[in-house]
Amino acid sequence: MTISELMAGVTPKPEYAGIANADDYVLAVDFSGTAENVGEYLVAIDGMTSHAATLEGITSDKTYLHKGPTSSKTATKRTFALAGDRYLGDAFQEALLAHEMKFGKGAAVVRPYVYFCMLTGKGEQGKATIMVGDDTAGEAGASATISATLTAFGEPTAYTYSAPANEPAAE
């Protein structure tokens, strides 16, 4: 499923206030690297149980005369830990688990992504290094599970979703 398909008929409200659920957040990736707009990105949805989005502050520690030890924040690292059940035929999972993603190296596994809240439309976009952890784990008789880690390559930029001009707004 693409972002355009997922967001058909959904109009985010930037002023939304209230509880947000994990299902209200969208993680989508341009596995082709050639999408003309984010509406073509593939959404992590079918079979996915988690896209845990974490931030890790990177610091530089120094000790200064008469001041003692200090830490300065120098960057923030964004990581998505994907987990779910193997869903054969899902475009996102098929692209994620393609041979070139599982065994690729360097720039070959860096792809554009977007992550935003469906309620507000606010989020981020950037590039991520993709590392597949499991492509078919599980016990006999249970669903096969998959996992992958996407780590932002550089610093993401702010992003706000807006529906394409030819898409009708939701009521």
CB 146 within 8 A of CB 134: yes
Answer yes or no: is pLDDT of 8 > 50. Answer: yes
What is the model's pLDDT at position 169? 42
Structural domain includes residue 165: no
Tens digit of each residue's pLDDT (9 = 90 or more) over 121-170:
999 999 999 999 999 888 999 999 999 999 999 899 999 998 776 544 44
What 3-state class would DSSP assign to 13?
coil
Structural domain includes residue 110: yes
What is the model's pLDDT at position 170? 40
Q: Tokens representing 98? A: 């393609």
Tens digit of each residue's pLDDT (9 = 90 or more) over 24-78:
999 999 999 899 999 999 999 999 999 999 999 899 999 999 889 999 988 899 9
Amino acid at 144: A
Which range of residues forms the domain containing residue 43? 3-160
The Cα–Cα gap between 79 and 100 comes to 21
Of the candidates 110, 111, 109, 118, which has an alpha carbon nearest to the alpha carbon of residue 159? 118
The Cα–Cα gap between 95 and 84 comes to 15
**Domains in the chain, number:** 1
